[in-house]
């Protein structure tokens, strides 16, 4: 492995003529971390990955890998390797030759090159495919070869550009497990670009959410999912219902928020003022349904009518409409739903625990 895989971007920007793709971002990724860059199309995540790789020139700012400033260095001198979305395997080479290609470029002798390539094929469980060509492989098998080829040069940082997007859901889940296993075994810093929220949450130690060329939030998967900073992040990561109201009273312990005829108690939040608008979220799996307001939920409940019930196998998605015409979503396990089934047009009280509310900044 080449050097220390810690990454630091210092006020890094990327301009294309009059278009700013990435706007002065600051980011520190610890050595050995699995970091996912996530956001909608055009948010700057792939451009950021390509700047780390050296495939895009940084317009402003500095990039450090380990203790070296690599801003001006070509890709081959950065200690990084990149796995591309389309895998970019050489069609005329066997799997063994594809995997060993990077070592050939480094001038490694054929015997050592082939031995190390076979070892790497074994690590990704593809040794029996050494003599096949890429056209003879499935998409998942091609991905393993591309991964082995990227890892064989022992980089300190592996960069992955939407590596699972072309796979079917079953293969995607298997390859998620494989990527995480390899990253933990090798101790390499992985930086992985994805559109998929479940992928980012399942794989990473660190999630970085981008929008419009800016980092909107970074933190652990649990922090990003449970404590989103903004409506955009809550909507993008999913799993949350967003409510809006007006602060009627606040103290050191709690906030009282009114929303039409309803009043809610929320955890205290710094900077709230009486009369100001506030938004808060409740996770879809933390909302219950009852015929009447349960004791203790008097200020954490709202009347609803069921509009949609979707059976998803392990879970059931329920959409309900509030008295002011807003939709909220509830997720129940199949067993929970079977114990208390609901149907369209039935009316209930949706309720939650006040401490489960998260106030958006």
Q: What is the mean pLDDT of each run of 10 residues along the chain (361 residues)?
A: 81 94 97 96 95 96 96 92 82 92 88 92 90 89 88 92 82 86 91 94 96 97 96 96 88 82 81 84 96 88 96 97 93 96 96 92 78
Delimit the domains of the chain by residue range.
7-231, 239-359
Q: Indicate the class that CATH gives domain 239-359.
A: mainly beta
Per CATH, domain 7-231 is 3.40.50.300: yes
Contacts of 198 (CB under 8 A, 6+ apart): none
Residue 174 CA to residue 191 CA, distance in Å, equals: 19
pLDDT given for residue 3 in this prediction:
57
Query: Could you tell me whether strands 327-333 and 80-83 are parallel, antiparallel, or unpaired per DSSP bridges?
Result: unpaired
Q: 111: Cβ–Cβ under 8 A, 6 or more apart, which residues? A: none
pLDDT at position 262, please? 80
Whole-angstrom distance, CA of residue 201 vs CA of residue 197: 6
pLDDT number for residue 1: 46
pLDDT of 276 reads 84
Provide the whole-model pTM: 0.89
**How far is 228 from 360, CA to CA, in rounded Å?**
7
Question: What pLDDT, on a 0 to 100 scale, did the predictor assign at position 351?
Answer: 95
Rounded distance, CA 45 to CA 209, Å?
9
């Amino acid at each position: 492995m080449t050097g220390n895989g810690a990454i630091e971007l210092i006020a890094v920007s990327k301009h294309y003529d009059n278009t700013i793709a990435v706007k002065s971002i600051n980011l520190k990724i610890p050595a050995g971390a699995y970091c996912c860059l996530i956001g909608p199309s055009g948010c700057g995540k792939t451009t950021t990955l390509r700047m780390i790789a050296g495939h895009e020139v940084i317009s402003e700012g500095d990039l450090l890998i380990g203790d070296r400033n690599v801003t001006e260095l070509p890709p081959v001198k950065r200690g990084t390797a990149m796995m591309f979305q389309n895998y970019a395997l050489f069609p005329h080479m066997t799997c063994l030759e594809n995997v060993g290609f990077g070592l050939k470029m480094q001038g490694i002798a054929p015997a050592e090159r082939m031995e190390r390539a076979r070892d790497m094929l074994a690590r990704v469980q593809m040794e029996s495919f050494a003599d096949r060509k890429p056209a003879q492989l499935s998409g998942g098998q091609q991905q393993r070869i591309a991964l082995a080829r990227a890892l064989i040069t022992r980089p300190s940082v592996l960069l992955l550009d939407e590596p699972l997007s072309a796979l079917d859901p079953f293969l995607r889940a298997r390859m998620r497990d494989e990527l995480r296993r390899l990253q933990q075994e090798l101790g390499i810093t992985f930086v992985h670009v994805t559109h998929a929220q479940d992928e980012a949450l399942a794989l990473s130690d660190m999630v970085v959410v981008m929008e419009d060329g800016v980092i909107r939030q970074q933190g652990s998967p649990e922090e990003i999912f449970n404590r989103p900073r903004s409506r955009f992040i809550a909507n993008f990561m999913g799993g949350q219902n967003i409510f809006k109201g007006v602060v009627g009273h606040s103290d050191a312990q709690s906030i009282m928020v009114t929303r039409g005829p309803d009043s809610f108690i929320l955890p205290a939040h710094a900077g709230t003022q009486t009369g100001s608008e506030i938004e808060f979220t409740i996770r879809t799996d933390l909302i219950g349904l009852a015929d009447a307001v349960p004791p203790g939920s008097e200020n954490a409940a709202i009347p609803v009518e069921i509009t949609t019930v979707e059976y998803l196998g392990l879970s059931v998605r329920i959409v309900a409409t509030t008295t002011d015409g807003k939709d909220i979503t509830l997720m129940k396990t199949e067993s929970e739903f079977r114990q208390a089934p609901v149907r369209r047009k039935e009316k209930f009280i949706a309720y939650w625990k006040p401490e489960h509310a998260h106030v958006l900044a």
